[in-house]
Structure 1
């Protein structure tokens, strides 16, 4: 097919005659880290003079809105809804929010430079995987001549060698203080009183002060209940100094701050090693039964150690005896043994989907399993004991006044191997009152089989969110290359009707064949936000594609006339006010992470302090771009004014319409009411 190319100037003249200046759908409001104080914290003991330049802020979610509020109809301020997020000084190595590295590692073997590079080669395919792995492992701005010198920012190695070198936090949880400024969130893990007194004597003295923080943490949700406002997420243990080493009790532990209490969410009761070191993650919560004062928190928790004698569990450059891992399991009931062994810091676990009933007291509840695993789903894969069971409840909503959770569980594919598969957790028929273990039933989301015949189709599938209408969103990671990409595909599923559909080119050319994306949240108006590839360059044996935030109106009801039902948009197109020197042109929206029912979106944006050189999507920045947390606040006079590309092709490979064509259709009022 012949490609037609238009220049920016020609299209600009064409569009300007038909549109109104200063139109936009959302105002972009930066939520700054001024009040967080993270720039003044110690990061490492060699040099702290450049922290203010290195710190970056991420918007990760938005406070739920009051019933009936629509910011497209009634003007809202950015201070009306709190954004939560985090700060980072460098690469995070392995995301603190993942039960296991990169969501697919049932082997739990991605823990050094070489395993990171192997993962990149097999699951991403970049021709720059060596550099990608080094940044993940050694940190941003690592010294290529001496990457182990510890003067880089972030990186997995710094965490692994904290045993010898002490540790300074890289990821800090933040919450909007109501004045467009972010403040630090503290949890039970920041003080010695937050730990079991039977364990702390073996750990030593807690290292966590006003300027030397050793806990990494992230907020995953906030909301309101009859107990008061709550904040929940995941934190690491602080480090403890003991003689000539530093140790932490656990790698990850869910937390809830509610009713003036900082609650630790404990693993599943049983195994001694799990009790002392097991990880948990809190993802979401609802009050159930409604107005009962019981906060139903959902997430994941360790229930058994994974295989401990696998050579891949200890990085190659950590000089500990791998056989010591077996002793960690043997000595699991003795804190003085497990917290005085470097090897035990590398223990990993089988994790299951769980819930906690939080009553607002200072009691630290134990996790309860959401379902009984079938007899062929033990903690370790019977066919390969290096693989372990993994499951998680990532989100919960009251659907028809009953809690429904979504996430993933482990499928024994053909009774041959373990893999993670998207799942729904529902209360069994007839269950009333405060839920208990075994009150739940789990089912797979259809159309997401890991294999087709004997051929592997997906590396993993998972559900990321659910709304009160029963609409589920999620992703499926392709095991096969499509259009030179191991695509992470997006889908929508309705638990009420069992209808499944892909977000693909039949919906919009934004979701072209082979595109990678992530659907992060769906509100009760069925509006989805996330991010997606915006270019088609080869990733397999090529480079990583540029991505930008999107929104898709999945419902049939009108949210605002500017955004027709079933339409998809890049958020860069919805924040353009056509003013080169204006505030909006300082930002390009990289990832949209949350949206409430009022229509307010949380996001992470690229910021060019003096403004981008043009209004186009791919405009360059004179100076350095920074990642910042932003709110996108709907405008009551919303009008779409899509950004143009400096040079854009009408036809996009694999898509039904090119981006310019799509923009033109939107610009000329392609809006309909349903």
Structure 2
């Protein structure tokens, strides 16, 4: 349906009718951050637990609370991935050169120098964001918070706790430095709790900055902010079990992505460090410009039960092997009690290569979403999705999309390794004896057992010269869940090489995310621009009336915000990404908003309603903002007014206004967060 994604355009009678009705399905509501930053991203929206449908019932701007993240610059490595770029389980990506190598080998951009600089330096003038500021914070004593999480207009400002095994404050004098912690949000759950990941922030010690841990999952009830702690598996060791357990409890990582309730108890799911990475590997040592002593960079120094590793510069970049994990947050003893935190499922590796392979990689796994199934074999039981590590015949560690299903339905209880891993066919790294994908992950699951996710094409196997994230859907109730890629489903916006991320699926099988809006080659070129989409997928659990509102097809969300009473106000925005959708149909997302200039305090409409219209004749200021898309009560498919595509010039331009800013912002934010690194398979 889009001129830039089809060589020929066929205008159906349905679309002609829609264009004459000139209305819209959604109105765009700006959600402002409580703190002033360069960019704001929409992350999640409060769930609908009843039967409200905002297309049938008029919903107000504040009816569903909204979660977002305010950022000043690029964060370097994501705080929502267990390993750099979601694939570097060797932890060899350490500095600018490594980031640049990833870009050239896995993405192939001609713009890798600029792309890598954004991740490494962040805002170099302001000294904020970027991996370099994190790597050298120990010596520079100037780290500033880059990412601030907010929910329902208040910032999550609690100081993260130090964990169960911090350096002894009576022996070592250190104090928290305000404005140095990083917080991100992953979910607003059915309890109204906010889930996400936080760093410890930095502490001043002996004229240095120390970080106790880079990331740990949390849940915020509104009155209590609780940080989840890891648990060492002492059966896994390299050389010093006690020393390794010491650094895991002090600096180990966790992540929180979703929750579920079962048997009267509530649980948070994600990942947790259970073992160290392979630290006796000099290629993992960060070569700091602030020291010429190689011994001060040796990770072996971090392993000693009699030291406080968080106080040492070389240990600031220490990493871990992580398992999929679950925490009981209802029990009175708390989620960090040994009886309330469990591994979901073991890695799919042999005992010989239990946690490390010949390439010094570390096994990884994570739960990204959970549901209580409403159908099939696992009806009424908790089913989880994410990824796990499999050992292949060549002893490679493959990080692959997986479903975690109860090992037993006769006497199931939430306990250690109570789920069995099943990898999603077609989304595996190795397909037909070739390593087609670098990695894959399942991002969400609904009560109908519909799973969504993506498989990242390896840089050696691009499609139309793009190493894209291939979005897929699968049925977790099948004996072997099998990925069906969006590109095979006959939807115009999901063309063969379309890069994208399917972020969330509600219980009506309505999927939201982002997808490429251009078709040019990225290899030896630059990144394509993206647009947020909604896809009313047709399968078990789909509501025919709801699907009919979208004319039974997938859309860029910009097409559904055009026309009618809200058209002028909506035309101040273009939707870059849709990150969440609840059962009422309310969507959270990220957009660009048009302003006449950098000094303007009020936004303005784009020059036309076309998809790629200029902002103030190409010299305007486009700002990355968080938005909520609220359905217009009574709207139907007849109210859809598809936007036009003015010309190829609008699509391909890369100068001032939309072209430059969107290229930079999407390249450095949406894609850097979601595109995965080149596989380390040999």
Give 1:413 deviation, angstroms: 2.3
Q: Paired residue for 1:308, among 247, 271, 279?
A: 279
1:159 paired to 2:134: yes
Give 1:106 deviation, angstroms: 1.2
- More displaced stretch, 251-260 vs 163-172: 251-260
Equivalent residue number for residue 657 of structure 2: none
Tell me, yes or no, if the aligned pair for 2:4 and 2:519 is still in contact at 8 Å: no
Equivalent residue number for residue 571 of structure 2: 585
1:36-87 CA distance string (max 9 Å, x none): 2x22xxxxxxxxxxxxxx5211100111013111111111112111111110
Equivalent residue number for residue 631 of structure 2: 634
In 1, Cα distance between equivalents of 2:322 and 2:365:
6
Equivalent residue number for residue 419 of structure 1: 398
SS of the residue 2:493 aligns to:
helix
Equivalent residue number for residue 124 of structure 1: 107
In 1, Cα distance between equivalents of 2:174 and 2:287:
29
Q: 1:4 to 1:315 in 2, by over 3 A?
A: closer
Equivalent residue number for residue 300 of structure 2: 327
In 1, Cα distance between equivalents of 2:432 and 2:181:
46
Q: What TM-score results when the alignment is normalised by the length of structure 2?
A: 0.83
SS of the residue 2:425 aligns to:
coil
SS of the residue 1:68 aligns to:
coil
Q: Paired residue for 1:601, among 587, 594, 610?
A: 587
Tell me, yes or no, if the aligned pair for 1:259 and 1:360 is still in contact at 8 Å: no
Equivalent residue number for residue 67 of structure 2: 84
Equivalent residue number for residue 671 of structure 1: none
Q: 1:420 to 1:201 in 2, by over 3 A?
A: farther
Tell me, yes or no, if the aligned pair for 1:203 and 1:247 is still in contact at 8 Å: no
Equivalent residue number for residue 176 of structure 2: 207
In 1, Cα distance between equivalents of 2:147 and 2:614:
29
Tell me, yes or no, if the aligned pair for 2:128 and 2:145 is still in contact at 8 Å: no
1:173-217 CA distance string (max 9 Å, x none): 1102xxxxx32013450x66x6656644566433343xxx11101
1:83-102 CA distance string (max 9 Å, x none): 11110001111111111111
Tell me, yes or no, if the aligned pair for 1:457 and 1:478 is still in contact at 8 Å: yes
Equivalent residue number for residue 146 of structure 2: 170
Tell me, yes or no, if the aligned pair for 1:553 and 1:568 is still in contact at 8 Å: yes
Give 1:369 deviation, angstroms: 0.8
Tell me, yes or no, if the aligned pair for 1:580 and 1:615 is still in contact at 8 Å: no
Tell me, yes or no, if the aligned pair for 2:323 and 2:347 is still in contact at 8 Å: no
Tell me, yes or no, if the aligned pair for 1:585 and 1:611 is still in contact at 8 Å: yes
Q: 1:318 to 1:507 in 2, by over 3 A?
A: farther
**Structure 1 segment 513-662 matched on structure 2, within 5 A:** 513-555=496-538, 556-560=542-546, 563-564=549-550, 566-577=552-563, 582-608=568-594, 609-622=603-616, 623-638=620-635, 639-647=639-647
In 1, Cα distance between equivalents of 2:4 and 2:321:
54
In 1, Cα distance between equivalents of 2:436 and 2:407:
31
In 1, Cα distance between equivalents of 2:223 and 2:615:
45
Aligned length: 599
Q: 1:449 to 1:495 in 2, by over 3 A?
A: same
Q: 1:201 to 1:309 in 2, by over 3 A?
A: farther
Give 1:578 deviation, angstroms: 5.9
1:391-423 CA distance string (max 9 Å, x none): 100000110221100000011122421121011
1:256 paired to 2:219: yes
- Which structure: greater strand fraction? 1
Give 1:224 deviation, angstroms: 3.7
Tell me, yes or no, if the aligned pair for 2:349 and 2:389 is still in contact at 8 Å: no
Q: Paired residue for 1:222, among 181, 185, 188?
A: 188
Q: Paired residue for 1:398, among 352, 372, 385?
A: 372
Give 1:580 deviation, angstroms: 9.9
In 2, Cα distance between equivalents of 1:107 and 1:544:
26
Q: 1:113 to 1:499 in 2, by over 3 A?
A: closer
SS of the residue 2:629 aligns to:
strand
**Structure 1 segment 301-380 matched on structure 2, within 5 A:** 301-320=272-291, 321-323=293-295, 324-331=297-304, 333-336=305-308, 338-359=309-330, 361=332, 363-365=334-336, 367-374=341-348, 376=350, 378=353, 380=355
1:278 paired to 2:252: yes
In 1, Cα distance between equivalents of 2:400 and 2:335:
30
**Structure 1: tracts of 5 or more residues without a match:** 40-53, 144-150, 177-181, 653-674
**Structure 1 segment 36-115 matched on structure 2, within 5 A:** 36=34, 38-39=35-36, 54-115=37-98
In 1, Cα distance between equivalents of 2:546 and 2:259:
29
In 2, Cα distance between equivalents of 1:120 and 1:478:
13
Equivalent residue number for residue 473 of structure 1: 452
Q: 1:562 to 1:625 in 2, by over 3 A?
A: farther
Q: 1:118 to 1:499 in 2, by over 3 A?
A: closer
In 1, Cα distance between equivalents of 2:136 and 2:543:
54
